[in-house]
Amino acid sequence: MALLEGFNVSKDFGGLRALSSITFELQEGEILGLIGPNGAGKTTLFNLITGVHRLSSGQISFMGRDISRLKPYAICRSGIARTYQLVRAFPHLTVLENVLVGIHFGRVRDRIPSLRGARHEGERLLAMVGLAGKIQEHAEHLTLMERKRLEIARALATQPFVLLLDEVICGLNPTETAQTMELIRNLRGTGTTIFMIEHVMRAIMGLSDRVMVIHHGELIAVGTPAQVTSDERVIEAYLGERTEPEDRRC
Ligand SMILES: Nc1ncnc2c1ncn2[C@@H]1O[C@H](COP(=O)(O)OP(=O)(O)OP(=O)(O)O)[C@@H](O)[C@H]1O
Ligand SMILES: [Mg+2]
């Protein structure tokens, strides 16, 4: 059985059909990539999975349970965490305090850790994402890459089974990209299942076991990186028109 499954998932915003009958599955332990042109509906799918938006029709199940009508906090507590494309740290809290919020409102709520235990866990996560030297900084003072890393740490603080990453690499320089790819590989190595949206092809194709491609709200291809990059519809809809630097699409 898949860990996370969507069946005929659709979303309308007024007269705009942002997603149309998307059926997908995420297997435990895999890295599943999600690509497609700007406005294709990628973030909308994450918003539906995490309860930010309500489905217009269809169903999403997690560990065999229908989560389509759950509130975001309940979905988070069930073990699905995400980062936001437009990073959303609490600007006036310190980096460590941002992560403490994740620890206290995450999956393990019957065992709220002591403040000292939570701080210890927060420091461990921040060291893992390369922010050990920044824990007392206010989040508003971080660089873009540091904010993206804080988003990851805050999501991990909720102890997710599934981590949804929305463009955590786009906009980073090559060194930062390599570091973040390494981090994602390590996360998968520790058992976290990952669903990631990305416009940086060398990253998504290098990391993913399988890739889904959405175009105008429709699923046009799913397969291994080699399969989707040679798919005519994918080349026509997305890859072929890639004449601008990748970062321009973020
Ligand atoms: N809350 C909303 N209200 C109305 N329309 C929305 C809303 N959220 C998204 N849309 C529309 O739905 C479509 C899909 O948007 P979405 O953000 O999912 O695209 P995306 O694939 O993530 O694009 P990008 O690569 O630029 O991040 C777009 O046409 C967008 O304008
Ligand atoms: Mg998006």
Per-residue pLDDT tens for 171-225?
889 999 999 999 999 999 999 999 999 999 999 999 999 999 999 999 999 999 9
- Averaged pLDDT score across all residues of the chain: 92
For a ligand 1 pocket test, name from 10, 13, 55, 204 the mutation site with the most ligand atoms within 8 angstroms of its C-beta. Answer: 13
**CA 47 to ligand 1: nearest atom:** 18
Per-residue pLDDT tens for 35-50?
999 999 999 999 999 9
Closest C-alpha residue for ligand 1 atom 1: 13
* Contact between 11 and 55 (Cβ < 8 Å): yes
CA atoms within 13 A on the CB side of 171: 14
Closest C-alpha residue for ligand 1 atom 7: 13
The model scores a pTM over 0.85: yes
Closest C-alpha residue for ligand 1 atom 30: 39
Per-domain residue ranges for the chain? 1-79+161-250, 86-159
- Ligand 1 center to residue 112 CA distance, Å? 36
The pair of structure tokens assigned to 123 is 């420091």
C-alpha span between 244 and 126 (Å, rounded): 34
Domain 1-79+161-250 homologous superfamily, CATH? P-loop containing nucleotide triphosphate hydrolases (3.40.50.300)
Lining residues, ligand 1, CB within 6 Å:
13, 16, 18, 36, 38-44, 85
Strand order in the sheet with 80-82: 80-82, 162-166, 193-197, 31-35, 210-215, 218-223
